């Protein structure tokens, strides 16, 4: 069953480069459609500025879409009646990229979790205390940590606290926006393992946003690749990593560090990057694509299912 479904979602901003210039439209998210099933982890990968975080904020209602529909259990979260919207209370939560700024520095960890539980689900103080102990145990912290302030924790510990806060309302889906990008590699592995453990124990779904395809591969069931506001490829994690079709996906995979001194990479990731407010005609990737043909500069490819595959989609005229 689909927990959440996005239909032709777009988000645009009006941008002025100076006080005397005309406004231009920046399409942060451009007609994106996808779904997330119950108990599924969907990865969203792309470079900085491609619209990943904006898409995540749209799902948790931190941003309002310019057009399109966002459905949770078949109900539009922006147009449904207020009585129906009460059923969405606590359904979605977000874990933010920066564990240092996502916590109130003036509140102890106990107070951070207690406030969420009091507002959302548990009015009884003794019951809240028991639930706080349960949450802190799930994320691998101890009771003694509850009465410390955020400044007394490492980055990895703060991210664990952010995860506990998100779990406090028993959400159905958590949007994790670059949750390990600011952490050391060894700590990244611990947090990723924690996500997997939480999903096994609670059944929560994740939208896992990252610029690192290697990280996403290790935790996600499916992967979507995003470039300048559009999804250019999607499919199972195995298909995307082992048999990529879009040249941008291939470039992301080539950029993954491997211990091979003889390995050569096509250096296309830094070449001719277009401005998001002045996109090229045709395919957005044509200025960087090593296999672009004339059609790529005139027409925009649609996201279509590849032949002889199941649920592997690619937006490219030269599908391989």
Per-residue pLDDT tens for 200-209?
988 999 999 9
Per-residue pLDDT, averaged over 138-152, amounts to: 92
Alpha carbon distance 110, 90 (integer Å): 19
Instruction: Give the percent of the chain with pLDDT over 70.
Output: 92
Per-residue pLDDT tens for 86-128?
566 678 899 988 878 888 999 999 999 999 999 887 889 999 9
Whether the pTM exceeds 0.75: the reply is yes
Alpha carbon distance 218, 216 (integer Å): 5
Per-residue pLDDT tens for 207-219?
999 988 888 988 9
Residue 83: band (very low, low, confident or very high) from pLDDT cuts 50, 70, 90: low
Instruction: Give the percent of the chain with pLDDT over 90.
Output: 58
Alpha carbon distance 166, 173 (integer Å): 10
Per-residue pLDDT, averaged over 294-317, amounts to: 91
Q: What was the pLDDT predicted at 311?
A: 87
Where do the domains of the chain lie, and which CATH numbers do they carry? 2-91+171-314 (3.40.50.300)
- Is the pLDDT at 262 greater than 60? The verdict is no
Alpha carbon distance 77, 97 (integer Å): 24
3-state SS track over 234-279? EEEHHHHHHCCCCHHHHHHHHCCCCCCCCCCCCCCCCCCCCECCEC
User: At residue 267, what are phi and psi to the nearest 5 degrees?
Assistant: -85, 70
Higher pLDDT, 121 or 179: 179
């Amino acid at each position: 069953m689909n927990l959440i479904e996005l239909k032709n979602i777009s988000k645009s901003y009006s941008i002025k480069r100076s006080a005397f210039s005309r406004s231009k439209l920046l399409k942060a998210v451009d007609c994106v459609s996808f779904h997330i099933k119950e108990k599924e982890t969907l990865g969203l990968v792309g470079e900085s500025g491609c619209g990943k975080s904006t898409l995540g904020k749209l799902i948790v209602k931190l941003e309002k879409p310019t057009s399109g529909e966002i459905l949770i259990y078949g109900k539009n979260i922006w147009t449904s009646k207020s009585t129906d919207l009460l059923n969405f209370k606590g359904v979605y939560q977000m874990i933010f990229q920066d564990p240092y700024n996502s916590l109130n520095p003036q509140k102890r960890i106990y107070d951070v979790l207690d406030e969420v539980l009091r507002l959302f689900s548990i009015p009884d103080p003794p019951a809240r205390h028991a639930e706080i102990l349960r949450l802190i145990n799930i994320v691998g912290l101890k009771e003694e940590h509850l009465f410390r302030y955020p400044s007394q924790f490492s980055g990895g510990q703060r991210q664990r606290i952010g995860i506990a806060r998100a779990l406090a309302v028993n959400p159905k889906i958590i949007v994790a926006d670059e949750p390990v990008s600011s952490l050391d590699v060894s700590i990244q592995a611990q947090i990723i393992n924690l996500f997997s453990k939480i999903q096994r124990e609670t059944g929560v779904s994740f939208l896992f946003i990252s610029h690192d395809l290697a990280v996403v591969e290790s935790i996600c069931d499916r992967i979507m690749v995003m470039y300048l506001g559009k999804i250019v490829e999607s499919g199972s994690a195995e298909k995307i990593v082992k048999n990529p079709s879009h040249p941008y996906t291939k470039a992301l995979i080539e950029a993954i560090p491997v211990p091979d001194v003889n390995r050569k990479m096509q250096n296309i990731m830094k070449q001719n990057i277009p401005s998001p407010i002045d996109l090229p005609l045709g395919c957005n990737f044509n200025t960087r694509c090593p296999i672009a043909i004339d059609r790529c500069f005139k027409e925009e490819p649609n996201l279509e299912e590849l032949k002889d595959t199941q649920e592997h989609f690619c937006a490219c005229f030269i599908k391989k």
